[in-house]
Chain A
C-alpha cells in the first residue's frame, strides 16, 4: 500500500461533531487505519458536492455479473482526475437474510471480503432491505460474486426491471402479534423466484413485502407492488384479569411507550373504548369486564397495542393481499389496494405463488414500459383487474365506496338483445 492522498474537507468535518453517530468520523477512522484511498476520495468528492450543491456521479452505467441482469448498480465519478480511486464506485446489492438476523461469523467474513474487494463502506441496509456494499470497480465484480457464492453462501439482490429483494418484519421471531410466518414466507418466495429476481423480464420493478400484522412494520402497504399483511378473522383473545390490571394502573399502557411524560392515570374509556374506530368495544365498570363485538372490529390493532398483556389477535389467522403501492413517480403515490381480504398462508405457500404468477403473466404482457403494477391497475380499472384478469368475485371490501358516477362500461352480453339494432325499425317508432 503506497502513500494515501488526503483532501481538505472542512464541510464534511463539521459533521463529525454532535451526539448522533457520525459517518464522517467513521469513514475517516477507517480510511486512516486501512490506508484506503477510495475512502479519502469519496469524502473529497462529497466535499465538492457540499460546495457545489450538486451530485458528482455520472449518469448510470450498465455493469453486472455474467448471467444476471441486476444486483449491481454502476456508478462513475465525473471528477476522475481529482478522485482517481473512485473513478468507478459500483454498488453491490446482497440479498439479506429474512428479518435481518445475523451471526457475527457471517458478518465478519463479509466485512473481510469487502475490505479486500471494495471500499469497506456499506449500508445496513438499503431501503428495499438488501445489504448494500458501496463502492468497487468493474474488475472486482465477478470475484465478489464468486466470493459470495463460494465462501459466504450469499447471492445478489434485485435491481432494475425485475423482482426486487423481498422483505419482511421480524414476524414470529420476536413478535406476539405476527399472524403469519413472515420470515418463512419471504424465504420461500425468494427461493422460488430466483429467476425473476436475477433476470429482468418485467415492465418495471416489482416489490414484495410481508408484514405480520396491521401495524405493518415494513411499510408493505406503502411500498410494495404486492403487499402481504397478516390478520385474523375470529375473535380478539382477552385476558380479563390483565385488562383489570391495566385499569387498576398495575400495568403500563402501550407497553410503556409513553413513560417520559405524565399523561395522568390510564383511562380505558378515553384511551381505548373511545378511540376504537368502529366503536365495537364496551367496558362494563360494574362487572369490570371488557366486551368486544368482534363482528364489527376492523382489526386496527389499537386496543391490542395499548394492552399487550391482555389482548391478542385471534387464532384463525391469515393475510390480506393488497397490490399496487408505489412512490409518486410518475402518476402520483399509491397505497396498495385490497385484492384478497383473507388468504390462509401455509407452507409451501402455493396459493400465494400462483397468485403472483397470474399477476405477472398479465402485467408482463400488458404493462407498458416503466409502468408499475398499480399504474396498470389504474389504467385498466380495478374492476377489470380483479374480475377479468384475476377471476376474483368483486365484493365491497375492494373499495372505500361505490362509484358516484353512472358512467358504467356495460358489456354487450349484459344488455338484453345486445347492441345490434335496426335504425329503420327505430324510425318506424320515432319518425325523424
Chain B
C-alpha cells in the first residue's frame, strides 16, 4: 500500500508565487530545476477525516431526498453528501465559489463525480440544512442556479460531454451549449426521482466519441455528411500520403498525381460513394477538412448502458440519423430527447433502463410510440451488420406494416 499522507500537503497553504517559475526555468539549460514524473497528488491527503476513518468500512447508504445521500459506516458514523450539477466548462471564479462553500461547511474538502457533479460532505443535519439553503440561494447574474441539487436515483443526471466549438478542431457540433439547452429543458428531471430508473445522457461532438456516448440511455453524437475537401496545393506539404490512405477504414482514398499551377504534385482522391464521413482522414491530414455548416449536425442514439445490473452492458442504437445544427438552443434535438424521455417514463416498468424497456417492447413498438420515422439510414451496413437483421418471425404488427397483396 502506498504511504498515506494524513493531511493536505502544507505546500498548498503557501501562497502561489507568480514569479517563481521564471526564476527556476532556464531555456538554455532545460534540465535545471526540472521536476518530472512525480504523478498526481496522493488521494489520501484530500479525504475528509470522517472518510479516512471509515475508508472501506461503509455499511449502507440512503438517498434522503433528490441530490442528498446519507452514508452509514459500521462504526456508527454518518456522512451526508449533497450533489450539485456543474457546467463542467467553468472559470476559476466558479471553482473558488465551490471552495468558499467547502471551506464554510465541509472543512475544505470537496469531490467531483465521474459525471461532472460536485459533492459536498457534512456530518450533521444542522449543517446539512444550512448548506442546502445556501446552495439553493446562489444564482448567476441572469438567474441560472449556480449549484442545482440533484443527480441521484431515478433522475436525469449531468451530461457527460466533450469540448465542442470551445476547443475542438474536429467538432461537428458544439458541446457545452447543447448540454445547457438540454439540461434547461430537462431541469425538473435532474432534481427529482420520478423516472423508472436512472437515465444517463451523454454528448460527443464528433464520432471520435471522447466519453461513453456509445453506452448511454440517450445520447447525442455530432456527425458530418459531406466528404472531405482535398487541398491539392497543400496536401503533400502537410500530410503523409501513405498514412492518409491507410487511415480510411473503407479504402476510399487513393493516391493521385495532380497538376497545380502547371506543376505536378502528389495528392489523393476520395471515392465519395464509399465515404462514411468518419473524419479519420482529417485527423491524419489537415489538408482534408470535413466540417461544413450545412453538412454537419447530430444523430440521436438510445438504449445503451454500462452497468451490469439485470442485463449486460449494451451499445446505444441510432434512432434519428440526422438533426441539423440549430444554435443557440438546438430546439429539434432537445424536443426529440424530451419526447423519448417522457414516452419511456410513461411506458417503462420500475427499474427498467431505456434499453431494457425497448428490448421488452421491441424496436418496432419504440418507433411507433415515439413517432420517430424509420428510414433506411437506421439499418446497419457496416461491420457485423448481419447481427442486427431480424432472422425470426417474432415481430409485432405496428403501424409500419402494410399488408402486401399485389407485388410488381
Q: Do A and B bind each other?
A: yes
Q: Does A225 contact B (CB under 8 A)?
A: no
Q: Is the CB of B16 within 8 A of A21?
A: no
With A99-B43, A258-B350 known as contacts, the answer to whether A109 contacts B112 (CB < 8 A) is no
With A116-B18, A121-B90 known as contacts, the answer to whether A111 contacts B95 (CB < 8 A) is yes
Binds A, one of B126-134, B135-143, B263-271: B135-143
Contacts of A184 in B (CB 8 A): 1-2
Q: How far is the CA of A215 from the CA of B310 in the complex (A)?
A: 10
With A109-B12, A257-B193 known as contacts, the answer to whether A309 contacts B108 (CB < 8 A) is no
Q: Is the CB of B95 within 8 A of A60?
A: no
Q: How far is the CA of A252 from the CA of B193 in the complex (A)?
A: 13
Q: How far is the CA of A171 from the CA of B382 in the complex (A)?
A: 38
Contacts of B194 in A (CB 8 A): 260-261
Within 8 A of A (CB), among B111-170: 111-114, 116, 118, 140-148, 152-154, 160-163, 165-170
| B293 contact from A54, A256, A263, Cβ within 8 A | A54
Q: Is the CB of B246 within 8 A of A95?
A: no
Q: Does A176 contact B (CB under 8 A)?
A: yes
Q: Interface residue tally of chain B, by bracket?
A: 35 or more
Q: What's the minimum C-beta distance from B159 to chain A, rounded to whole angstroms?
A: 10
Q: Is the CB of A219 within 8 A of B114?
A: yes
Q: What's the minimum C-beta distance from B52 to chain A, rounded to whole angstroms?
A: 9
Q: Is the CB of B140 within 8 A of A174?
A: no
Q: What's the minimum C-beta distance from A428 to chain B, rounded to whole angstroms?
A: 45
Contacts of B140 in A (CB 8 A): 16, 21-22, 25-26, 29
With A50-B328, A107-B110 known as contacts, the answer to whether A59 contacts B169 (CB < 8 A) is yes
Contacts of A113 in B (CB 8 A): 16
Q: Is the CB of B148 within 8 A of A21?
A: yes
Q: How far is the CA of A254 from the CA of B197 in the complex (A)?
A: 10
Q: Is the CB of A17 within 8 A of B71?
A: no
Q: Does A372 contact B (CB under 8 A)?
A: no
Bitwise interface map of B from 274 to 302 toward A, beta carbon under 8 Å scored 1, else 0? 00001010100010010111101000000
Q: What's the minimum C-beta distance from A73 to chain B, rounded to whole angstroms?
A: 8
Binds B, one of A151-159, A283-291, A383-391: A151-159
Q: Is the CB of B87 within 8 A of A23?
A: yes
Contacts of A51 in B (CB 8 A): 327
Bitwise interface map of A from 69 to 97 toward B, beta carbon under 8 Å scored 1, else 0? 00001010000000000000101000111
Q: Does A370 contact B (CB under 8 A)?
A: yes
Contacts of A75 in B (CB 8 A): 167, 169
Within 8 A of A (CB), among B188-219: 190, 192-195, 198, 204, 207-215
Total number of residue pairs linking A and B with CB closer than 8 Å: 465
Q: Is the CB of A15 within 8 A of B167?
A: no
Q: What's the minimum C-beta distance from B57 to chain A, rounded to whole angstroms?
A: 8
| B87 contact from A21, A59, A263, Cβ within 8 A | A21
| A103 contact from B12, B116, B167, B207, Cβ within 8 A | B12
Q: Does A53 contact B (CB under 8 A)?
A: yes
Q: How far is the CA of A172 from the CA of B114 in the complex (A)?
A: 15
Contacts of B69 in A (CB 8 A): 255
Contacts of A104 in B (CB 8 A): 98-99, 102-103, 108-110
Within 8 A of A (CB), among B336-355: 350-351
Q: What's the minimum C-beta distance from A151 to chain B, rounded to whole angstroms?
A: 6
| A111 contact from B92, B112, B187, Cβ within 8 A | B92
Q: Is the CB of B142 within 8 A of A300?
A: no
| B291 contact from A55, A60, A67, A331, Cβ within 8 A | A55
| A19 contact from B39, B91, B144, Cβ within 8 A | B144
Contacts of B195 in A (CB 8 A): 261
Q: Does B402 contact A (CB under 8 A)?
A: no
| A216 contact from B18, B112, B144, B307, Cβ within 8 A | B307
Bitwise interface map of A from 332 to 356 toward B, beta carbon under 8 Å scored 1, else 0? 1101000000000001100000000
Q: Is the CB of B166 within 8 A of A21?
A: no
| B154 contact from A54, A56, A257, Cβ within 8 A | A257
Q: What's the minimum C-beta distance from B66 to chain A, rounded to whole angstroms?
A: 7
| B145 contact from A21, A147, A191, Cβ within 8 A | A21
Q: Does B177 contact A (CB under 8 A)?
A: yes
Bitwise interface map of A from 258 to 276 toward B, beta carbon under 8 Å scored 1, else 0? 1111010000000100010
Q: Is the CB of A19 within 8 A of B184?
A: yes
| B86 contact from A21, A50, A128, Cβ within 8 A | A21
Contacts of B382 in A (CB 8 A): 332
Q: What's the minimum C-beta distance from B188 to chain A, rounded to whole angstroms?
A: 9
Contacts of B307 in A (CB 8 A): 214-216, 301
Bitwise interface map of B from 1 to 44 toward A, beta carbon under 8 Å scored 1, else 0? 11000001101111111101110110100110111111111110
| B167 contact from A66, A89, A181, A194, Cβ within 8 A | A89
Q: Is the CB of A111 within 8 A of B96?
A: yes
Q: What's the minimum C-beta distance from B40 to chain A, rounded to whole angstroms?
A: 4
Q: Does B390 contact A (CB under 8 A)?
A: no
Q: Is the CB of B36 within 8 A of A257?
A: no
Q: How far is the CA of A378 from the CA of B315 in the complex (A)?
A: 18
Q: Does A364 contact B (CB under 8 A)?
A: no
Q: Is the CB of B193 within 8 A of A187?
A: no
With A99-B43, A187-B40 known as contacts, the answer to whether A216 contacts B211 (CB < 8 A) is no
Q: Which of chain B's residues has its CB closest to A50's CB?
A: B327
Q: How far is the CA of A22 from the CA of B145 in the complex (A)?
A: 8
Q: Does B75 contact A (CB under 8 A)?
A: no
Q: Which of chain B's residues has its CB closest to A45's CB?
A: B165
Q: Is the CB of B306 within 8 A of A216?
A: yes
Contacts of B171 in A (CB 8 A): 55
Q: Does B375 contact A (CB under 8 A)?
A: no
| B79 contact from A52, A67, A174, Cβ within 8 A | A174
Q: Does B386 contact A (CB under 8 A)?
A: no
With A122-B92, A152-B11 known as contacts, the answer to whether A16 contacts B34 (CB < 8 A) is no
Q: Does B396 contact A (CB under 8 A)?
A: no
Within 8 A of A (CB), among B46-104: 46-47, 51, 55-56, 58-66, 69, 71, 79, 81, 85-96, 98-99, 102-103
Q: How far is the CA of A151 from the CA of B15 in the complex (A)?
A: 9
With A330-B280, A332-B382 known as contacts, the answer to whether A14 contacts B328 (CB < 8 A) is yes
Q: Is the CB of A215 within 8 A of B209?
A: no
Q: Which of chain A's residues has its CB closest to B287's CB?
A: A59
Q: What's the minimum C-beta distance from A141 to chain B, rounded to whole angstroms?
A: 10
Q: How far is the CA of A20 from the CA of B329 in the complex (A)?
A: 13
Q: Is the CB of A222 within 8 A of B214?
A: yes
Q: Is the CB of A153 within 8 A of B38?
A: yes
Instruction: Enumerate the 3 nearest inter-chain pairs by beta-carbon distance, A residue then B residue, closest first.
Output: A257-B153, A18-B184, A149-B35
* Listed A/B pairs (28) with beta-carbon separation below 8 Å: A15-B177, A16-B141, A17-B184, A24-B180, A28-B141, A33-B93, A46-B166, A54-B292, A121-B89, A122-B90, A122-B92, A124-B116, A143-B25, A146-B35, A150-B33, A150-B35, A151-B16, A152-B12, A173-B55, A184-B1, A194-B37, A221-B313, A259-B63, A260-B194, A261-B194, A302-B310, A327-B214, A330-B249
